[in-house]
Amino acid sequence: MKKYYAVLVTVMVTAAVFAQKMDPFDYHVADFRLLTDKRVQVEVGLTKPQIAVMNKFADANRTKIRAYQDQVVRAGRDPSKIPDSDPTLLRYFSELRGQILSNLNPLQLRRLRELTIQNAGLSGILDTEIAKKVGISDDELKKARAIFEKGASASRKIQQDVYAQVTKPYVNVRPKSQAEATALSTKIREIFNGEMAKRSPEIQKLAAQTKKEFEAVVTPKQLAKYKALSGKKFVPK
């Protein structure tokens, strides 16, 4: 036990030093949630002590959230209806993010930033700080965001329509057990996926149109800079 806490203290002290050397841009962009994927952990170069400390942070965070949910229940509210914009949840999220990212060294943080951009695809360029980094003006950014939102809205509409169509026959179905509920959920999901597959050409056409309109606003030079920020392509193994 003493040995573990010695390692813990060492890692946390090292993390404090790393935090002072962090690149603000890398810190802003990096999505710590990607680190739940063991393949990403390997790609970033996490050590076993780092992972152990991160797990401790995550466990403590979950304990806080559960306590908050219990508090909500005692107040007579439904914890499942707590919005993502809830100030307390946002504070807990921010705390965990700071703890996890501060546990990375500058090179690890940079690689995580690159992987975050790769994971985001073209939509990542809509981030204010990223847009500044690649030289996109406020006016260009406003137009680009409007284009993506229009495409995203149309895509959501297709999914909502398909979901409404698929679930309509089951609106009044009341499962008598958890097993029946699980089976029904699985059945609906499979039907939904099948119907969405039929709409795939429509969705692909929509994505192509969005990309075409987007590239009419953002220059090739800006796109090249954005691609450079994503670093070496990550190929999961």
Query: Is the predicted pLDDT of residue 14 greater than 50, yes or no?
Result: no
pLDDT per position as a tens digit, 121-175:
989 999 999 999 999 999 999 999 999 999 999 999 999 999 999 999 998 889 8
Amino acid letter for position 70: D
pLDDT at 1: 40
Please state, rounded to an integer, the average pLDDT across all residues of the chain. Answer: 90
pLDDT at 171: 87
pLDDT at 232: 96
Q: How buried is residue 108: exposed, middle or buried, by Cβ count under 10 Å (0-12/13-18/19+)?
A: buried
pLDDT at 206: 93
Amino acid letter for position 119: N
pTM of the full structure? 0.79
Task: Please state the three-class secondary structure of 120-151 as a single string.
Answer: HHHHHHHCHHHHHHHCCCHHHHHHHHHHHHHH
DSSP 77-134: --GGG--TT-HHHHHHHHHHHHHHHTTS-HHHHHHHHHHHHHHHGGGGGGSHHHHHHH
